Every structure is written in C-alpha cells, then in structure tokens.
Amino acid sequence: MSDHAQSKKLRVGVLRGGPSGEYEISLKTGKNIIDALQGRSDYEIQDIFVDRNGVWHVGGVSRPAERVLPYVDVIVNALHGAYGEDGRVQQLLESHNVPYTGSRPLGSALGMNKPLAKKFFKMRGLLTPEHTVIKKDNYSPEILRKIMTDYPHLRLVKPASSGSSLGVSVVNNHAEFEEAMERAFEHSDSVMVEEYLRGREATCGVVEGSSGQEVYALHPIEIRVLSCDPLPDAENSVENNRNRIWSYESKYRDDLHELICPGNFTVDETRLIQQSAVNAHKALGLRHYSRSDFILNRLGVYILEVNTLPGLTPMSLFPRALSVAGFSLGEFLDHIITLAVEKN
C-alpha cells in the first residue's frame, strides 16, 4: 500500500505564477490559498510554481508537468491571465485526468476573450457597452481618427484578452488614444475600444452549489473612486486617466478607491446585479465560481466583463464578499475542491 493510501490525505497541488502580466498577483493568490489550507489534517499541500517562461517547479526543482501531475489528486488553479486563465492549462490538466478548480477550457477561453464574451452576454439578454475591435496587423492612425470622429463615445481602450485591468485606459484626444493603443497592444494582439459609461461601479461574485442554490450570488461590492487628482508618480496623461477607472493600479492602491461591501444599492439594484452575475456565469458556461464587473446608470446595469479566476489575495474583492457572506477563504476553498473532485 502506498504512503498516500495509508495517510488518506487528499494531495492538493496549488498552481501559481505563470507566464503572464499577472504573475505577481498569481503568486500572492497562491500564497494566500496555501496559507488558508495549511494545517488541514486531511490535505497534503503541494506548492507548484510556474515561472515566467512556463516551466513548472516543485520544491525548487524544475519538473515537466507530466512528472508532477501523477502525484496530486486535485489542482487548485491560482494562475491568472494568459496560460492559466485562457483554457490552455485547463486542457493540460484534463489531458492528464487531473481534477481542478475553476472553469473548463471553453468557458475559460470565452472569459478571456472580451469581445466574444460580449456576444454571449447579449444572447442572454444582458446589457453591455458598445465596442469595436482593432487588430494589431490592421492598426493605423487613420483608424483611430475615424473612431474618434464617428464614434466619440468609444473612449475606453483595453486589451481584448487580458485580466486584472492590465493595459486599460480612458482617452480624451488623439495623442492619448495612440499612447493607450500602444500600451494595450503590449498585452494582446487585439484591442477593444469600448463605450465609456459613467455610473456607479459594482462587482459581484458567484459560487456554485452554495447555500442550497445552483449558483449562489454573493453581496455586490460598490467601488468608489476617491479622487481624480493626478497620480503623483504618473509620467503621462493616459496614466493619470487610469485613476478614473477600476484599473490595475487602482486595485492595489488604497488611496484611489473605496470598497463598500455590501454596496449601497437598493434592494432592486442588488437583485439585478446578482441575477446579472449569475446569468453571465451561465452564459459562458463557467464552473465553480466567477466574478463579474458592472456599471450602473439610469439606463440599467451594464456588464463589463467576467473574471473566471478572481484574485484571492488578502486585498482582493472576492474574499471580501465571502467574508461578508459568512464564509472564510478556507471554507470556500474546501467547497470548490470538493466540487472539483466529486464532479470531475
């Protein structure tokens, strides 16, 4: 009988790092997961580090994935962004018949492809801002001038496939537009230029199979910008504009925003945000959990995008909502690990 059979511990591999712009956040998410699971007598935790080149490491030694996966019973996927959140690592895990947390390959790929996800949102009856897509090989200053002339309301520039709001900017003129496009192309070969909607910003997480519901919506979090003053360390106008939105920078700077959970929404607004988050989760065929971002204004609740693997760092939004709902991070992780193992 093997040592594993004798111990009857579930061998849980925590996959973190990865070759994306969200490498540092993934490391923090993974560490927080490991800390939350440490001390469990029924788990044997294995820290699996993926470096920026995509090489897997266990115990400080590089090992190919096929030599790591036979020695785990389930993977908690803490990889954010490209490779870990776009369906590729999910395909790898499925090819080795290893259960894992989070969405399957197709749902993951849809969640990372913002323009395609919008089509599925619309099919589900969800409101979403108007947009157009510019591919890197078709990009030219003339295209930008045409957009600014014909579609002046399209002022939000973002990579078509990226997470953590990397490379997202609000633009006001042609020079800012060019600069924002260059930044966005650093993260994706396609850029989405989207309608810039003013309103109250909200985010709402969902968890499958919790509280007796097929998909349970957590309390929406309200995100308030505290100041639109220029950033003290900003080098240009585009960077200064990013503190007006829930950007990568603002997510990790407490001086730029206020997070209110539960948000100060009416009962009807709360219900609509929660239902929209559940609908978005189902529209993309996601699994286990997700978090959707919204703008509320007088015209309704607009979905911006879905995060198929929300950050689970101490500063992240999803754990805050879990706490308000009465769930610890450890309880949540235990729940999704159980879902992964039992329903693989």
Q: What is the pLDDT of residues 17-76, one digit of tens each?
A: 999 989 999 999 999 999 999 988 999 999 999 999 999 999 999 999 999 999 999 999
For residue 32, what are the contacts with CB-CB under 8 A and spacing of at least 6? Answer: 312, 313, 314, 319, 329
pLDDT per residue as tens digits for the range 157-188: 999 887 656 788 899 888 899 999 999 998 88
Nearest to 263 by CA among 305, 230, 220: 220
CB of 68 closer than 8 Å to CB of 12: no
Residue 10 CA to residue 4 CA, distance in Å, equals 8
Quickly list H helices, 186-316: 237-241, 248-251, 267-283
Give per-residue burial for 116-128: e unless 16+ CB within 10 Å, then b.
bbbebbeeeebeb
- pLDDT of 191 strictly over 90: yes
Separation CA 296–CA 302 (nearest Å) = 6
User: What's the confidence (pLDDT) of residue 246?
Assistant: 46
Name the pTM for this structure: 0.88
